[in-house]
Amino acid sequence: MNEFMSKTKVNGTAAPHAQINNGAPMGGALSIKHVSKIYDPEGVNVCAVDDCSMEIAAGEVCMIVGPSGCGKTTLLNAIAGFHSITSGEITLDGDLLCGPGKPKAAQGADRMVVFQNGALFPWKTLVENVAYGPIVQRRMSKPEALEKSYQMLAEAGLGDFGDKYPGEVSSGMARRAEIVRALINEPKVLLLDEPYRAMDALTKSIMHESLLETYDRTKVTIFFITHDLEEAIFLGDKVHVVTTRPCSLKKTIDVTIPRPRTYESLSSENFRHLMAEVNEAVHEEAVKAFQAGERELA
């Protein structure tokens, strides 16, 4: 049994956690309406997102899959407030993040981002990394923030690693610490951009267990970009398949596998059926992307 599994149950209900919000969603409904984004590097227009609409309910795990370079990260960056949009609007619990008259959302702790490449401060221990946000935002005193950070790291199975530096722990542990660092801010939405992309299958499976366990505890809305279709179905309430660039919604697939999910879910008939459905939709778009690439080369 690995060090994570020894401390929690898969998707567990039995582990004695301090609840962040007793498992009920605290808002986090995202509405993306007719969003378009045109980049204009040196006068060459690149339309990355075009008339993209999707509704994400509070507390939903929403998985985004689509071909490489289609505009997924662009959409996430718009939600996070890293980039402006060209038209359309995005709201969070009915409040306008960006839209007419406000092309760029303000960045805020209500939307925390975890990227594919780790972003922990290497010169700070895991606990110092987690405590950093609440301390600099003056939301907690330093002792309070450190205590809370140790507690949350322990809940994520990292109780013995709080005093280690990122370079002294595995990439999987570092990624879990990053998610803890995001969650200490009690965001409404967790934005994840291929966070487990470079990981081997076993580490990934541990990450999935950890994320589902965290989700059960917090019910934070999750907007998760991935290329891994199995990951999308295993984790998601919904899988939004997006088109080849420019990104718009092609198809939404409801994942009708009950929670809590276990690895036995992966071998169910329903899982295989959903995989086929998602695969067909993504494959159609991947072929279009490939053909478009060939046309550009021709």
When CB distances are held under 5 to 8 angstroms depending on the partner's kind, the choice from Mg ion, ligand ATP, none that residue 70 binds is ligand ATP
Overall residue count recorded for the chain in this entry: 298
Give the shortest CB-137-to-ligand ATP separation in angstroms: 28
Give the shortest CB-197-to-Mg ion separation in angstroms: 9
36 vs 218, which CB is nearer to ligand ATP?
Answer: 36
The contact set with ligand ATP (CB under 6 A) reads 39, 41, 46, 48, 68-74, 245
When CB distances are held under 5 to 8 angstroms depending on the partner's kind, the choice from ligand ATP, Mg ion, none that residue 241 binds is none
Give the shortest CB-250-to-ligand ATP separation in angstroms: 13
Give the shortest CB-247-to-ligand ATP separation in angstroms: 7
Query: 156: Cβ–Cβ under 8 A, 6 or more apart, which residues?
Result: 176, 177, 179, 180, 210, 214
**CB contact at 8 A, 37 and 49:** yes
48 vs 61, which CB is nearer to ligand ATP?
Answer: 48
When CB distances are held under 5 to 8 angstroms depending on the partner's kind, the choice from Mg ion, ligand ATP, none that residue 175 binds is none
When CB distances are held under 5 to 8 angstroms depending on the partner's kind, the choice from Mg ion, ligand ATP, none that residue 69 binds is ligand ATP
